[in-house]
A and B are shown apart, each in its own frame.
Chain A
Amino acid sequence: NRMKRARARHKPCALKELEVSISELGLGFMSDEIVLFRYCSGTCNAPGQNYDISLQNMRSKKKIKKEKVRARPCCRPLSYDDEVSFLDNNNRYHTVNKLSAKECGCV
Protein backbone atom coordinates (compact mmCIF):
# COMPACT_ATOMS: atom_id res chain seq x y z
CA ASN A 1 0.00 0.00 0.00
CA ARG A 2 2.80 2.37 0.86
CA MET A 3 4.46 1.40 -2.38
CA LYS A 4 1.27 2.23 -4.18
CA ARG A 5 1.05 5.63 -2.56
CA ALA A 6 4.67 6.32 -3.29
CA ARG A 7 4.20 5.38 -6.91
CA ALA A 8 1.11 7.57 -7.14
CA ARG A 9 3.09 10.49 -5.83
CA HIS A 10 5.66 9.99 -8.54
CA LYS A 11 3.31 9.93 -11.47
CA PRO A 12 4.53 12.30 -14.11
CA CYS A 13 2.79 15.61 -14.61
CA ALA A 14 -0.45 15.00 -16.50
CA LEU A 15 -4.03 16.14 -16.96
CA LYS A 16 -6.60 14.66 -14.58
CA GLU A 17 -10.29 15.27 -14.28
CA LEU A 18 -13.00 15.43 -11.70
CA GLU A 19 -16.76 15.82 -11.83
CA VAL A 20 -17.77 18.59 -9.45
CA SER A 21 -20.75 20.84 -8.95
CA ILE A 22 -20.33 24.54 -9.64
CA SER A 23 -21.04 25.30 -5.97
CA GLU A 24 -18.18 23.08 -4.87
CA LEU A 25 -15.71 25.12 -6.89
CA GLY A 26 -15.95 27.85 -4.28
CA LEU A 27 -16.14 30.68 -6.78
CA GLY A 28 -19.23 32.13 -5.15
CA PHE A 29 -21.70 30.72 -7.62
CA MET A 30 -24.57 28.63 -6.33
CA SER A 31 -25.46 26.03 -8.92
CA ASP A 32 -26.04 22.31 -8.80
CA GLU A 33 -24.85 21.88 -12.36
CA ILE A 34 -22.05 19.37 -12.65
CA VAL A 35 -19.01 20.28 -14.71
CA LEU A 36 -15.81 18.54 -15.60
CA PHE A 37 -12.88 20.12 -13.78
CA ARG A 38 -9.57 19.22 -15.40
CA TYR A 39 -6.38 19.90 -13.48
CA CYS A 40 -2.65 19.22 -13.66
CA SER A 41 -1.14 16.75 -11.28
CA GLY A 42 2.11 14.82 -10.97
CA THR A 43 5.76 15.38 -10.39
CA CYS A 44 8.31 16.97 -12.60
CA ASN A 45 11.23 14.59 -12.49
CA ALA A 46 13.06 15.64 -15.60
CA PRO A 47 16.58 16.81 -14.77
CA GLY A 48 16.56 20.49 -13.99
CA GLN A 49 17.76 23.00 -16.47
CA ASN A 50 21.10 24.71 -16.05
CA TYR A 51 19.02 27.47 -14.53
CA ASP A 52 17.70 25.20 -11.76
CA ILE A 53 21.10 23.71 -10.98
CA SER A 54 22.70 27.12 -10.86
CA LEU A 55 19.91 28.52 -8.72
CA GLN A 56 20.24 25.68 -6.24
CA ASN A 57 23.97 26.19 -6.02
CA MET A 58 23.58 29.90 -5.51
CA ARG A 59 21.18 29.20 -2.71
CA SER A 60 23.37 26.66 -0.99
CA LYS A 61 26.29 29.03 -1.22
CA LYS A 62 24.09 31.64 0.42
CA LYS A 63 24.46 34.00 -2.49
CA ILE A 64 20.69 34.08 -2.56
CA LYS A 65 19.25 34.28 0.93
CA LYS A 66 16.14 36.34 1.49
CA GLU A 67 14.29 36.05 -1.77
CA LYS A 68 11.80 33.36 -2.37
CA VAL A 69 12.96 31.27 -5.30
CA ARG A 70 11.94 27.94 -6.77
CA ALA A 71 14.67 25.80 -8.16
CA ARG A 72 12.42 22.98 -9.41
CA PRO A 73 9.89 22.98 -12.23
CA CYS A 74 6.18 22.93 -11.36
CA CYS A 75 3.35 20.93 -12.91
CA ARG A 76 1.03 23.64 -14.20
CA PRO A 77 -1.49 24.19 -17.03
CA LEU A 78 0.11 25.25 -20.28
CA SER A 79 -3.28 26.24 -21.66
CA TYR A 80 -6.83 26.45 -20.41
CA ASP A 81 -10.08 24.98 -21.62
CA ASP A 82 -12.81 27.06 -23.27
CA GLU A 83 -15.23 29.03 -21.16
CA VAL A 84 -17.92 27.23 -19.19
CA SER A 85 -21.48 28.52 -18.94
CA PHE A 86 -24.10 27.37 -16.51
CA LEU A 87 -27.45 28.28 -15.00
CA ASP A 88 -27.34 29.07 -11.29
CA ASN A 89 -29.97 28.15 -8.74
CA ASN A 90 -31.63 31.56 -9.18
CA ASN A 91 -32.01 30.90 -12.91
CA ARG A 92 -29.33 33.30 -14.04
CA TYR A 93 -26.69 32.31 -16.52
CA HIS A 94 -22.99 32.82 -15.84
CA THR A 95 -19.86 32.20 -17.83
CA VAL A 96 -16.45 31.58 -16.32
CA ASN A 97 -13.14 31.63 -18.15
CA LYS A 98 -9.98 29.63 -17.59
CA LEU A 99 -11.72 27.30 -15.18
CA SER A 100 -10.26 24.10 -16.41
CA ALA A 101 -6.82 23.04 -17.63
CA LYS A 102 -6.40 21.80 -21.17
CA GLU A 103 -2.74 20.90 -21.36
CA CYS A 104 -0.17 20.37 -18.61
CA GLY A 105 3.56 20.71 -18.47
CA CYS A 106 6.54 21.21 -16.21
CA VAL A 107 7.32 24.88 -16.19
Chain B
Amino acid sequence: MILANALRVLLCLDEILHSLAGPSSLAGHDPHGWRTPVDCVRANELCAAESSCSSRYRTLRQCLAGRDRNTMLANKECQAALEVLQESPLYDCRCKRGMKKELQCLQIYWSIHLGLTEGEEFYEASPYEPVTSRLSDIFRLASIFSGMDPATNSKSNHCLDAAKACNLNDNCKRLRSGYISTCSKEISATERCNRRKCHKALRQFFDRVPSEYTYRLLFCSCKDQACAERRRQTIVPSCSYEDKEKPNCLDLRNMCRTDHLCRSRLADFHTNCQVSFQSLTSCPGDNYQACLGSYAGMIGFDMTPNYIDSSTSSITVSPWCSCKGSGNLEEECEKFLRDFTENPCLRNAIQAFGNGTDVNLSPKNPSPPVTVPPKTENNPNLPDDVNDSNTLYDTSVITTCTSIQEHGQKLNKSKEQNVCISETQLPTDSMPDPNTFLDPKASSSRHSAGVILSTISFFLVKLAL
Protein backbone atom coordinates (compact mmCIF):
# COMPACT_ATOMS: atom_id res chain seq x y z
CA MET B 1 0.00 0.00 0.00
CA ILE B 2 2.85 2.37 0.77
CA LEU B 3 4.37 1.48 -2.52
CA ALA B 4 1.09 2.11 -4.22
CA ASN B 5 0.84 5.52 -2.64
CA ALA B 6 4.36 6.44 -3.57
CA LEU B 7 3.67 5.43 -7.12
CA ARG B 8 0.53 7.46 -7.13
CA VAL B 9 2.47 10.52 -6.13
CA LEU B 10 4.98 9.80 -8.84
CA LEU B 11 2.25 9.40 -11.36
CA CYS B 12 0.87 12.71 -10.30
CA LEU B 13 4.26 14.38 -10.64
CA ASP B 14 4.61 12.89 -14.04
CA GLU B 15 1.31 14.46 -15.00
CA ILE B 16 2.34 17.85 -13.67
CA LEU B 17 5.54 17.74 -15.63
CA HIS B 18 3.57 16.88 -18.71
CA SER B 19 1.17 19.69 -18.23
CA LEU B 20 3.98 22.14 -17.61
CA ALA B 21 5.44 21.09 -20.87
CA GLY B 22 2.04 21.67 -22.42
CA PRO B 23 2.01 25.41 -23.11
CA SER B 24 5.37 25.51 -24.79
CA SER B 25 4.53 22.72 -27.14
CA LEU B 26 1.24 24.42 -27.79
CA ALA B 27 2.92 27.35 -29.44
CA GLY B 28 4.94 25.01 -31.55
CA HIS B 29 1.86 23.32 -32.92
CA ASP B 30 0.05 26.48 -33.75
CA PRO B 31 1.02 28.01 -37.06
CA HIS B 32 -0.45 31.33 -35.90
CA GLY B 33 0.96 30.96 -32.45
CA TRP B 34 1.97 34.55 -32.07
CA ARG B 35 -1.64 35.63 -31.90
CA THR B 36 -4.22 33.96 -29.75
CA PRO B 37 -7.12 32.96 -31.94
CA VAL B 38 -10.51 34.37 -30.95
CA ASP B 39 -13.61 32.50 -32.00
CA CYS B 40 -15.26 34.05 -35.03
CA VAL B 41 -18.61 34.63 -33.36
CA ARG B 42 -16.82 36.70 -30.73
CA ALA B 43 -14.66 38.41 -33.34
CA ASN B 44 -17.80 39.30 -35.22
CA GLU B 45 -19.19 40.91 -32.07
CA LEU B 46 -16.00 42.88 -31.60
CA CYS B 47 -16.16 44.00 -35.20
CA ALA B 48 -19.83 44.96 -34.92
CA ALA B 49 -19.00 47.25 -32.00
CA GLU B 50 -16.66 49.23 -34.22
CA SER B 51 -18.29 51.22 -36.99
CA SER B 52 -15.43 51.14 -39.50
CA CYS B 53 -14.93 47.40 -39.11
CA SER B 54 -18.60 46.56 -39.32
CA SER B 55 -19.18 48.62 -42.44
CA ARG B 56 -16.18 47.07 -44.18
CA TYR B 57 -17.33 43.63 -43.20
CA ARG B 58 -20.78 44.32 -44.60
CA THR B 59 -19.20 45.52 -47.82
CA LEU B 60 -17.03 42.46 -48.13
CA ARG B 61 -19.93 40.11 -47.63
CA GLN B 62 -21.83 41.84 -50.40
CA CYS B 63 -18.73 41.68 -52.57
CA LEU B 64 -18.36 37.94 -52.07
CA ALA B 65 -22.00 37.04 -52.44
CA GLY B 66 -22.31 35.06 -55.62
CA ARG B 67 -18.98 36.15 -57.02
CA ASP B 68 -15.60 34.49 -57.24
CA ARG B 69 -12.47 35.97 -55.83
CA ASN B 70 -11.10 37.55 -59.01
CA THR B 71 -14.22 39.41 -60.01
CA MET B 72 -14.53 40.58 -56.44
CA LEU B 73 -10.99 41.90 -56.29
CA ALA B 74 -11.50 43.78 -59.54
CA ASN B 75 -13.69 46.10 -57.50
CA LYS B 76 -11.64 48.74 -55.65
CA GLU B 77 -14.09 49.03 -52.81
CA CYS B 78 -14.07 45.29 -52.20
CA GLN B 79 -10.30 45.20 -52.23
CA ALA B 80 -10.10 48.01 -49.71
CA ALA B 81 -12.60 46.28 -47.43
CA LEU B 82 -10.56 43.11 -47.50
CA GLU B 83 -7.36 44.95 -46.66
CA VAL B 84 -8.90 46.68 -43.67
CA LEU B 85 -10.40 43.47 -42.39
CA GLN B 86 -7.03 41.77 -42.41
CA GLU B 87 -6.15 43.98 -39.47
CA SER B 88 -9.30 43.10 -37.54
CA PRO B 89 -9.80 40.22 -35.11
CA LEU B 90 -11.91 38.59 -37.82
CA TYR B 91 -8.82 37.76 -39.82
CA ASP B 92 -7.33 35.43 -37.22
CA CYS B 93 -10.49 33.99 -35.79
CA ARG B 94 -11.07 30.27 -35.48
CA CYS B 95 -13.93 27.96 -34.54
CA LYS B 96 -14.23 25.02 -32.20
CA ARG B 97 -15.68 21.71 -33.19
CA GLY B 98 -19.05 21.11 -31.61
CA MET B 99 -19.16 24.64 -30.24
CA LYS B 100 -22.39 26.52 -29.84
CA LYS B 101 -23.19 28.32 -33.09
CA GLU B 102 -20.55 26.31 -34.94
CA LEU B 103 -22.23 26.90 -38.29
CA GLN B 104 -22.48 30.63 -37.69
CA CYS B 105 -18.84 30.72 -36.69
CA LEU B 106 -17.81 28.87 -39.85
CA GLN B 107 -19.92 31.13 -42.03
CA ILE B 108 -18.10 34.13 -40.63
CA TYR B 109 -14.74 32.40 -41.11
CA TRP B 110 -15.34 31.51 -44.74
CA SER B 111 -16.86 34.89 -45.55
CA ILE B 112 -13.42 36.38 -44.96
CA HIS B 113 -11.23 33.52 -46.04
CA LEU B 114 -12.87 32.84 -49.36
CA GLY B 115 -11.80 36.33 -50.29
CA LEU B 116 -8.29 35.77 -49.02
CA THR B 117 -7.47 32.50 -50.71
CA GLU B 118 -7.59 31.42 -54.28
CA GLY B 119 -10.75 29.50 -53.55
CA GLU B 120 -9.95 26.36 -55.47
CA GLU B 121 -6.83 25.43 -53.57
CA PHE B 122 -5.99 21.79 -53.12
CA TYR B 123 -5.50 22.12 -49.36
CA GLU B 124 -7.33 24.73 -47.38
CA ALA B 125 -6.35 25.89 -43.92
CA SER B 126 -8.49 24.54 -41.12
CA PRO B 127 -10.94 27.00 -39.58
CA TYR B 128 -10.71 25.05 -36.35
CA GLU B 129 -8.50 25.79 -33.41
CA PRO B 130 -5.51 23.50 -33.27
CA VAL B 131 -5.95 20.56 -30.94
CA THR B 132 -3.92 21.45 -27.91
CA SER B 133 -5.08 18.81 -25.50
CA ARG B 134 -2.51 16.46 -24.13
CA LEU B 135 -2.03 13.74 -26.63
CA SER B 136 -1.30 10.92 -24.36
CA ASP B 137 -4.50 10.87 -22.34
CA ILE B 138 -6.61 9.27 -24.96
CA PHE B 139 -3.91 6.80 -25.84
CA ARG B 140 -3.33 5.91 -22.28
CA LEU B 141 -7.02 5.13 -22.04
CA ALA B 142 -6.81 3.05 -25.13
CA SER B 143 -3.91 1.13 -23.71
CA ILE B 144 -5.74 0.48 -20.50
CA PHE B 145 -8.78 -0.65 -22.40
CA SER B 146 -6.86 -2.88 -24.69
CA GLY B 147 -5.24 -4.60 -21.76
CA MET B 148 -8.56 -5.47 -20.21
CA ASP B 149 -10.36 -8.77 -20.01
CA PRO B 150 -7.28 -10.88 -19.42
CA ALA B 151 -9.36 -14.05 -19.58
CA THR B 152 -10.22 -13.52 -23.20
CA ASN B 153 -6.94 -11.97 -24.16
CA SER B 154 -5.92 -14.59 -26.66
CA LYS B 155 -9.22 -14.46 -28.49
CA SER B 156 -10.21 -10.94 -27.72
CA ASN B 157 -12.25 -8.78 -30.02
CA HIS B 158 -11.45 -5.17 -29.21
CA CYS B 159 -14.34 -3.90 -31.30
CA LEU B 160 -16.76 -6.01 -29.28
CA ASP B 161 -15.18 -4.73 -26.07
CA ALA B 162 -15.65 -1.20 -27.36
CA ALA B 163 -19.34 -1.88 -27.99
CA LYS B 164 -19.62 -3.22 -24.45
CA ALA B 165 -17.96 -0.16 -22.98
CA CYS B 166 -20.37 2.04 -24.92
CA ASN B 167 -23.44 0.00 -23.94
CA LEU B 168 -22.52 0.29 -20.28
CA ASN B 169 -22.40 4.07 -20.49
CA ASP B 170 -25.86 5.60 -20.65
CA ASN B 171 -24.91 8.55 -22.81
CA CYS B 172 -22.91 6.52 -25.30
CA LYS B 173 -25.56 3.80 -25.45
CA ARG B 174 -28.35 6.29 -26.05
CA LEU B 175 -26.62 8.14 -28.88
CA ARG B 176 -25.27 4.95 -30.44
CA SER B 177 -28.72 3.39 -30.42
CA GLY B 178 -29.97 6.70 -31.77
CA TYR B 179 -27.90 6.61 -34.93
CA ILE B 180 -28.15 2.86 -35.41
CA SER B 181 -31.92 2.84 -35.31
CA THR B 182 -32.13 5.91 -37.56
CA CYS B 183 -29.61 4.56 -40.04
CA SER B 184 -31.08 1.08 -40.24
CA LYS B 185 -34.71 2.13 -40.52
CA GLU B 186 -35.99 1.16 -43.94
CA ILE B 187 -38.28 3.73 -45.52
CA SER B 188 -39.53 1.95 -48.61
CA ALA B 189 -38.49 -0.78 -51.02
CA THR B 190 -36.52 1.75 -53.06
CA GLU B 191 -35.19 3.92 -50.26
CA ARG B 192 -32.98 2.03 -47.89
CA CYS B 193 -32.94 4.72 -45.22
CA ASN B 194 -33.12 8.43 -44.59
CA ARG B 195 -29.51 9.34 -45.24
CA ARG B 196 -29.87 12.93 -44.10
CA LYS B 197 -31.26 11.91 -40.72
CA CYS B 198 -28.69 9.13 -40.42
CA HIS B 199 -25.83 11.56 -40.99
CA LYS B 200 -27.27 13.96 -38.46
CA ALA B 201 -27.54 11.22 -35.83
CA LEU B 202 -23.96 10.13 -36.54
CA ARG B 203 -22.73 13.70 -36.11
CA GLN B 204 -24.52 13.91 -32.78
CA PHE B 205 -22.86 10.71 -31.67
CA PHE B 206 -19.37 11.86 -32.60
CA ASP B 207 -19.89 15.38 -31.26
CA ARG B 208 -21.50 14.55 -27.93
CA VAL B 209 -19.93 11.29 -26.84
CA PRO B 210 -16.41 11.55 -25.39
CA SER B 211 -13.76 10.30 -27.74
CA GLU B 212 -12.60 7.56 -25.39
CA TYR B 213 -15.80 5.79 -26.42
CA THR B 214 -16.16 6.86 -30.03
CA TYR B 215 -12.51 6.34 -31.06
CA ARG B 216 -12.52 2.99 -29.41
CA LEU B 217 -15.43 1.87 -31.57
CA LEU B 218 -14.03 3.43 -34.71
CA PHE B 219 -10.35 2.58 -34.41
CA CYS B 220 -10.33 -0.74 -32.56
CA SER B 221 -7.56 -3.11 -33.55
CA CYS B 222 -8.48 -6.47 -35.00
CA LYS B 223 -6.91 -9.86 -35.38
CA ASP B 224 -9.71 -11.58 -37.24
CA GLN B 225 -12.24 -10.79 -39.90
CA ALA B 226 -15.32 -10.83 -37.68
CA CYS B 227 -13.76 -8.06 -35.65
CA ALA B 228 -12.76 -6.06 -38.71
CA GLU B 229 -16.22 -6.42 -40.17
CA ARG B 230 -17.71 -5.12 -36.94
CA ARG B 231 -15.31 -2.17 -37.15
CA ARG B 232 -16.36 -1.50 -40.74
CA GLN B 233 -20.01 -1.65 -39.70
CA THR B 234 -19.57 0.93 -36.94
CA ILE B 235 -21.05 3.81 -38.90
CA VAL B 236 -23.80 1.68 -40.52
CA PRO B 237 -22.16 2.05 -43.93
CA SER B 238 -25.12 0.68 -45.89
CA CYS B 239 -26.89 3.94 -45.12
CA SER B 240 -24.26 6.51 -44.21
CA TYR B 241 -21.53 5.55 -46.66
CA GLU B 242 -22.45 3.40 -49.64
CA ASP B 243 -24.58 4.71 -52.46
CA LYS B 244 -25.92 3.36 -55.73
CA GLU B 245 -23.14 5.03 -57.65
CA LYS B 246 -19.62 6.05 -56.80
CA PRO B 247 -19.16 9.69 -57.76
CA ASN B 248 -15.86 11.14 -58.93
CA CYS B 249 -13.80 12.25 -55.94
CA LEU B 250 -13.28 15.79 -57.24
CA ASP B 251 -17.01 16.16 -57.86
CA LEU B 252 -17.61 14.94 -54.33
CA ARG B 253 -15.06 17.44 -53.03
CA ASN B 254 -16.79 20.26 -54.88
CA MET B 255 -20.10 19.20 -53.42
CA CYS B 256 -18.55 19.13 -49.96
CA ARG B 257 -17.08 22.59 -50.45
CA THR B 258 -20.47 24.12 -51.10
CA ASP B 259 -21.35 23.28 -47.48
CA HIS B 260 -19.56 25.29 -44.81
CA LEU B 261 -19.48 22.45 -42.31
CA CYS B 262 -18.30 19.79 -44.75
CA ARG B 263 -15.73 22.16 -46.22
CA SER B 264 -14.39 22.96 -42.77
CA ARG B 265 -14.16 19.35 -41.67
CA LEU B 266 -12.33 18.44 -44.86
CA ALA B 267 -9.92 21.35 -44.42
CA ASP B 268 -9.36 20.24 -40.84
CA PHE B 269 -8.58 16.72 -42.02
CA HIS B 270 -6.11 18.06 -44.57
CA THR B 271 -4.46 20.18 -41.91
CA ASN B 272 -4.11 17.49 -39.27
CA CYS B 273 -3.59 14.34 -41.31
CA GLN B 274 -1.44 15.72 -44.10
CA VAL B 275 1.63 13.59 -44.53
CA SER B 276 4.62 15.28 -43.02
CA PHE B 277 8.09 14.11 -43.93
CA GLN B 278 9.69 15.97 -41.07
CA SER B 279 8.14 13.95 -38.30
CA LEU B 280 8.70 10.48 -37.08
CA THR B 281 5.04 9.55 -37.24
CA SER B 282 4.37 11.21 -40.62
CA CYS B 283 1.80 13.37 -38.84
CA PRO B 284 2.01 17.16 -38.47
CA GLY B 285 3.51 17.85 -35.05
CA ASP B 286 3.37 14.12 -34.31
CA ASN B 287 -0.15 14.75 -33.15
CA TYR B 288 -2.09 11.54 -33.67
CA GLN B 289 -5.06 12.70 -31.73
CA ALA B 290 -5.62 15.73 -33.94
CA CYS B 291 -5.58 13.51 -37.01
CA LEU B 292 -8.00 10.96 -35.55
CA GLY B 293 -10.27 13.76 -34.39
CA SER B 294 -10.46 15.38 -37.79
CA TYR B 295 -10.99 12.02 -39.45
CA ALA B 296 -13.93 11.31 -37.14
CA GLY B 297 -15.12 14.86 -37.77
CA MET B 298 -15.91 14.04 -41.39
CA ILE B 299 -18.33 11.26 -40.50
CA GLY B 300 -21.87 12.38 -41.18
CA PHE B 301 -21.06 14.61 -44.15
CA ASP B 302 -20.80 14.07 -47.91
CA MET B 303 -17.15 13.15 -47.49
CA THR B 304 -17.85 10.44 -44.88
CA PRO B 305 -14.87 8.07 -44.87
CA ASN B 306 -14.90 4.42 -43.89
CA TYR B 307 -12.90 1.21 -44.07
CA ILE B 308 -13.19 -0.16 -47.57
CA ASP B 309 -13.18 -3.80 -46.51
CA SER B 310 -12.88 -6.09 -43.51
CA SER B 311 -9.27 -6.95 -44.01
CA THR B 312 -7.22 -7.27 -40.83
CA SER B 313 -3.76 -6.94 -42.31
CA SER B 314 -4.07 -3.64 -44.13
CA ILE B 315 -6.15 -0.73 -43.00
CA THR B 316 -7.52 1.23 -45.94
CA VAL B 317 -10.04 4.00 -45.56
CA SER B 318 -11.66 6.09 -48.26
CA PRO B 319 -14.65 8.29 -48.95
CA TRP B 320 -17.28 6.77 -51.25
CA CYS B 321 -15.79 7.95 -54.54
CA SER B 322 -13.40 6.93 -57.30
CA CYS B 323 -11.22 8.65 -59.85
CA LYS B 324 -13.14 7.33 -62.84
CA GLY B 325 -14.11 10.07 -65.21
CA SER B 326 -11.55 12.57 -63.99
CA GLY B 327 -10.45 13.56 -67.50
CA ASN B 328 -7.36 15.75 -67.38
CA LEU B 329 -7.65 16.06 -63.59
CA GLU B 330 -6.82 12.40 -63.05
CA GLU B 331 -3.61 13.25 -61.25
CA GLU B 332 -5.23 15.73 -58.90
CA CYS B 333 -7.99 13.25 -58.18
CA GLU B 334 -5.55 10.47 -57.37
CA LYS B 335 -3.65 12.80 -55.10
CA PHE B 336 -6.82 13.70 -53.29
CA LEU B 337 -7.84 10.07 -52.87
CA ARG B 338 -4.39 8.96 -51.73
CA ASP B 339 -4.68 11.28 -48.71
CA PHE B 340 -7.24 8.77 -47.50
CA THR B 341 -6.19 5.45 -48.96
CA GLU B 342 -2.41 5.67 -48.72
CA ASN B 343 -1.82 8.12 -45.91
CA PRO B 344 0.93 6.96 -43.53
CA CYS B 345 -0.03 9.58 -40.94
CA LEU B 346 -3.63 8.43 -40.78
CA ARG B 347 -2.66 4.79 -40.88
CA ASN B 348 -0.09 5.18 -38.13
CA ALA B 349 -2.55 7.11 -36.01
CA ILE B 350 -5.24 4.44 -36.36
CA GLN B 351 -2.81 1.64 -35.65
CA ALA B 352 -1.26 3.45 -32.71
CA PHE B 353 -4.64 4.00 -31.16
CA GLY B 354 -5.63 0.39 -31.71
CA ASN B 355 -2.42 -0.82 -30.15
CA GLY B 356 -2.57 1.72 -27.37
CA THR B 357 0.70 3.34 -28.33
CA ASP B 358 1.43 6.96 -28.82
CA VAL B 359 4.41 9.04 -29.61
CA ASN B 360 4.37 12.20 -27.60
CA LEU B 361 6.87 14.43 -29.26
CA SER B 362 6.88 18.12 -29.71
CA PRO B 363 9.63 20.23 -31.20
CA LYS B 364 10.48 22.18 -28.08
CA ASN B 365 10.01 19.37 -25.67
CA PRO B 366 11.61 16.26 -27.00
CA SER B 367 10.30 14.02 -24.30
CA PRO B 368 9.87 10.42 -25.17
CA PRO B 369 6.56 8.98 -26.24
CA VAL B 370 4.04 7.74 -23.77
CA THR B 371 3.60 4.15 -24.52
CA VAL B 372 1.59 1.20 -23.56
CA PRO B 373 1.64 -0.60 -20.37
CA PRO B 374 2.20 -4.16 -21.49
CA LYS B 375 -0.84 -5.68 -23.07
CA THR B 376 -0.97 -8.75 -20.94
CA GLU B 377 -1.48 -6.68 -17.86
CA ASN B 378 -4.28 -7.73 -15.62
CA ASN B 379 -7.13 -5.41 -15.11
CA PRO B 380 -6.36 -4.10 -11.68
CA ASN B 381 -9.81 -2.97 -10.90
CA LEU B 382 -12.28 -5.75 -11.24
CA PRO B 383 -14.84 -5.24 -8.55
CA ASP B 384 -14.39 -7.48 -5.57
CA ASP B 385 -18.02 -8.18 -5.31
CA VAL B 386 -19.23 -8.99 -8.74
CA ASN B 387 -22.85 -9.27 -7.67
CA ASP B 388 -22.94 -5.90 -6.19
CA SER B 389 -21.20 -4.01 -8.86
CA ASN B 390 -22.03 -4.90 -12.35
CA THR B 391 -21.62 -1.23 -12.85
CA LEU B 392 -19.08 0.51 -14.97
CA TYR B 393 -15.73 -0.74 -13.94
CA ASP B 394 -14.67 0.46 -17.34
CA THR B 395 -14.81 4.05 -16.28
CA SER B 396 -13.51 3.51 -12.81
CA VAL B 397 -10.27 2.15 -14.13
CA ILE B 398 -9.49 5.37 -15.92
CA THR B 399 -6.66 7.22 -14.36
CA THR B 400 -6.52 10.77 -15.42
CA CYS B 401 -4.88 13.70 -13.85
CA THR B 402 -5.32 16.29 -16.49
CA SER B 403 -4.33 19.85 -16.59
CA ILE B 404 -7.07 22.42 -16.72
CA GLN B 405 -5.54 23.56 -19.94
CA GLU B 406 -7.87 21.72 -22.24
CA HIS B 407 -11.00 22.80 -20.49
CA GLY B 408 -10.13 26.17 -19.20
CA GLN B 409 -8.06 27.53 -22.02
CA LYS B 410 -10.33 30.46 -22.53
CA LEU B 411 -10.01 31.51 -18.92
CA ASN B 412 -6.32 31.82 -18.64
CA LYS B 413 -3.83 30.65 -21.13
CA SER B 414 -0.69 31.31 -19.21
CA LYS B 415 -1.50 29.81 -15.86
CA GLU B 416 -2.02 26.17 -16.46
CA GLN B 417 -2.59 24.27 -13.32
CA ASN B 418 -2.85 20.73 -12.46
CA VAL B 419 -5.36 19.32 -10.12
CA CYS B 420 -4.64 15.97 -8.69
CA ILE B 421 -7.13 14.95 -6.15
CA SER B 422 -5.91 11.70 -4.91
CA GLU B 423 -8.16 9.11 -3.33
CA THR B 424 -11.17 10.44 -5.10
CA GLN B 425 -13.58 7.89 -6.29
CA LEU B 426 -15.69 8.34 -9.29
CA PRO B 427 -19.41 7.89 -8.99
CA THR B 428 -19.88 4.74 -11.00
CA ASP B 429 -22.43 6.02 -13.42
CA SER B 430 -20.93 9.28 -14.51
CA MET B 431 -18.25 10.18 -16.95
CA PRO B 432 -14.80 10.63 -15.57
CA ASP B 433 -14.14 14.12 -14.46
CA PRO B 434 -11.07 15.18 -16.38
CA ASN B 435 -9.84 17.32 -13.53
CA THR B 436 -9.90 14.58 -11.02
CA PHE B 437 -7.23 12.12 -10.33
CA LEU B 438 -8.80 8.81 -9.72
CA ASP B 439 -7.38 6.43 -7.33
CA PRO B 440 -7.36 3.28 -9.35
CA LYS B 441 -7.87 1.25 -6.18
CA ALA B 442 -5.36 -0.56 -4.16
CA SER B 443 -4.10 -3.13 -6.58
CA SER B 444 -3.10 -0.57 -9.16
CA SER B 445 0.55 -0.46 -8.28
CA ARG B 446 1.49 -2.65 -11.18
CA HIS B 447 -0.42 -0.50 -13.47
CA SER B 448 1.01 2.78 -12.24
CA ALA B 449 4.42 1.29 -12.53
CA GLY B 450 3.65 0.40 -16.09
CA VAL B 451 2.65 3.93 -16.92
CA ILE B 452 5.70 5.43 -15.31
CA LEU B 453 8.04 2.98 -16.82
CA SER B 454 6.61 3.63 -20.20
CA THR B 455 6.74 7.37 -19.80
CA ILE B 456 10.39 7.14 -18.98
CA SER B 457 11.44 4.58 -21.47
CA PHE B 458 10.49 6.00 -24.73
CA PHE B 459 13.26 5.70 -27.07
CA LEU B 460 12.97 1.99 -27.21
CA VAL B 461 9.60 2.31 -28.80
CA LYS B 462 10.83 5.02 -31.07
CA LEU B 463 13.53 2.76 -32.28
CA ALA B 464 11.06 0.00 -32.76
CA LEU B 465 9.00 2.22 -34.99
Contact = CB atoms under 8 A, between A and B. Distances in A.
A48 to B, nearest CB: 31
Contacts of B265: none
Interface string B169-202: 0000110110011011000000000000000000
Contact of A82 (B174, B229, B233, B236): B174
B276 interface: no
A95 B180 contact: yes
A93 B236 contact: yes
A93 B164 contact: no
Contacts of B391: 17
Contact of A34 (B168, B174, B181, B183): B168
A34 B392 CA distance: 12
B167 A33 contact: yes
A60 interface: no
Contacts of B27: none
B443 interface: no
Given A84-B173, A95-B184, A19 B163 contact: no
Interface residues of B, number: 21
B174 A35 contact: no
Contact of B163 (A33, A82, A83, A91): A33
B4 interface: no
Contact of B181 (A18, A35, A83): A83
- Residues of A in contact with B, size category: 10 to 19
Interface in A47-98: 82-87, 89, 91, 93, 95
A87 B163 contact: yes
A82 B173 CA distance: 9
Nearest to A36: B168
Given A83-B181, A84-B173, A85-B177, A35 B167 contact: yes
B230 interface: yes
B177 A84 contact: yes
A100 B230 CA distance: 24
B272 to A, nearest CB: 29
B167 A34 contact: yes
Nearest to A93: B184
Nearest to B238: A93
A35 B229 CA distance: 20
A17 B160 CA distance: 20
Contacts of A32: 157, 160
Interface string B125-162: 00000000000000000000000000000000100100
Contact of B230 (A36, A83, A91, A95): A91
A8 B177 CA distance: 34
Interface in A10-34: 17-19, 32-34
Nearest to B226: A89
A83 B164 CA distance: 16
B181 A85 contact: yes
11 contacts: A17-B391, A34-B164, A34-B168, A36-B168, A36-B390, A82-B174, A83-B177, A84-B177, A86-B180, A93-B184, A95-B177
Given A35-B168, A85-B180, A85-B184, 20 more contacts: A17-B391, A18-B390, A19-B390, A32-B157, A34-B163, A82-B173, A82-B174, A82-B177, A83-B181, A85-B176, A85-B177, A86-B163, A86-B167, A87-B163, A87-B233, A91-B230, A91-B233, A93-B236, A95-B177, A95-B181
Interface of A: 17-19, 32-36, 82-87, 89, 91, 93, 95
The 4 closest A-B pairs by CB, nearest first: A85-B180, A85-B177, A34-B164, A95-B181
